[in-house]
Amino acid sequence: MRTQVGIVGAGPAGLMLSHLLHLQGISSVVLESRSRDYVEHRVRAGVLEQGSVDLLRATGLGDRLDREGLRHEGIELRFDGESHRVAMTELTGRAITVYGQQEVVKDLIAARLAAGGTILFSAEATRLSGLESPSPVVHYRYEGRDEELHCDFVVGCDGFHGVSRSAVPDGVLHTYERTYPFAWLGVLAAAAPAVDELIYAHHERGFALYSMRSPEISRLYLQVPADEDIADWPDERIWAELRTRLETVPGWSLNEGPILEKAITPLRSFVVEPMQWQRLYLAGDAVHIVPPTGAKGMNLALADVALLGDAFAAWYADGRTDLLDDYSRTALRRVWRAQQFSWWMTSMLHRLDADDPYEAKLQSSALRYLTTSPAYATSLAENYVGLPAV
Ligand code: FAD
Ligand code: DHB
């Protein structure tokens, strides 16, 4: 098979890139190791920055998002038995929209298939070759056979565990990383959200986050130790811990309901530089991971491919290479802003080393400062809703 741009991975990055290329008249094929059903039901992130919403709308994907997405103009910080609102829209003029990642993925798949696009599900890329030539190849397994996809460029959108990054020879890429001694236990519950806005709660037993997916579905997270086993968390224990960490404000209680899904996700900060080598471009989780506290993962993936869409358009329209050459440098500015913001939110809100009271005092001071200083609160807000330029 031959196409102009070969894309590995049908997450938000790969699908959006394929959609953007199609709008520019550039052909692409997306190879995805999982089934369509699996990627459409994988529960992950839920917060879209203003810039991501603008991108989805501008490319014809705003209909269901505008009907079902929940626009939020603030978030709540809860600590020391008090609750404080960060008025994001008042401070920045921008807002976030709560809309599940799997809904973005469903909308993108529907748009690509309606336009006659090719997405091969259950097609696992096994290796890349010829990246230094004008015609690189993605080797993949499909329906029990070894196949080849020949293209002009390969874009690795295959997430942290994908194969694309490892196609770059040793010594070229530089890795920056940090691991955390805790993870998030995330649940999806059939319970009406008890609030209209997200609650980020700092508690002596650990961080908790109250989010939602719809007027009927709540999405909740608990900080747990990094090596925690989900089997040790029966539903009643989860609700009890959520009550302890979130019901700290007089007169407020959460709504409980059947837990539809639960999983533990490790927290990690990770960046690989540069995001390109020869005819291979890397985007999204394949080259950078943020801890989820800043809600940046999916937004960064979309921002990367927005740059690549423009860069390929310039190359195919009139042979311009400047945008492709600048891709890594430009994308990394946003990536590092999100890294710093996500690390800061994570450090401020989680229970850190229990034996270090100095850290706990710094956290309290930072949280208090956010509630008294419009300048500090604006810094949080403008990063959270997404910076137009970085
Ligand atoms: P992905 O969505 O990971 O897509 C990569 C795709 O490539 C996958 O579909 C994968 O199956 C496919 N693939 C991998 N290897 C191959 C191969 N060899 N051949 C073909 N296909 C391949 N962010 C938040 O902001 N908040 C959250 O609560 C949150 N929760 C998360 C929970 C989990 C378990 C994970 C893993 C991530 C979470 N994130 C969260 C991060 C966010 O979901 C990601 O940043 C986002 O999915 C990145 O999109 P992507 O397209 O780069 O990668
Ligand atoms: C959600 C996830 C996040 O990581 C976050 O910071 C806020 C909300 C969510 O899944 O709704």
pLDDT digits (tens, 9 = 90+) for 120-142: 999 999 999 999 999 999 999 99
pLDDT band at 353, cuts 50/70/90? confident
Q: Give pLDDT, residue 389.
A: 83
Ligand nearest, relative to CA of residue 299: 1
Residue 222 confidence (pLDDT): 98
180, 353 Cβ separation under 8 angstroms: no
The pLDDT of 198-224, averaged and rounded, is: 97
The neighbour count for residue 118, using CB atoms within 10 Å, is 16
* Amino acid identity at 327: Y
% of the chain beyond a pLDDT of 90: 98
- The 10s digit of each residue's pLDDT in 168-180 is 999 999 999 999 9
296 part of the active site: yes
Confidence of residue 315 (pLDDT cuts 50, 70, 90): very high
Q: What is the mean pLDDT of residues 250-271?
A: 96
For residue 320, the model assigns a pLDDT of: 97
**Which bound ligand lies closest to the C-alpha atom of 102?**
1
Would the CB of 137 count as within 6 Å of ligand 2?
no
Ligand 2 contacts CB of residue 91 (under 6 A) = no
Nearest residue (by CA) to ligand 1, atom 33, is: 44
* 384 tagged catalytic: yes
What pLDDT is attached to residue 243? Answer: 98
Atom of ligand 1 nearest to the CA of 301: 52
pLDDT for the residue 388: 87
pLDDT at 354 (0 to 100): 76
| Per annotation, catalytic residue among 19, 22, 262, 296 | 296
User: Does residue 200 have an active-site annotation?
Assistant: yes
The finding on whether 45 has its CB within 6 A of some atom of ligand 2 is: yes
Rounded mean pLDDT, 290-306:
98
The arithmetic mean of pLDDT across residues 48-54, rounded, is: 97
pTM: 0.97
Which domains are seen in the chain, by residue range? 5-46+100-173+274-345 (3.50.50.60), 180-267+353-385 (3.30.9.10)
Residue 12 confidence (pLDDT) above 90? yes
* Confidence label for 390 from pLDDT (cuts 50, 70 and 90): confident
Say if ligand 2 is within 6 A of residue 211 CB.
yes
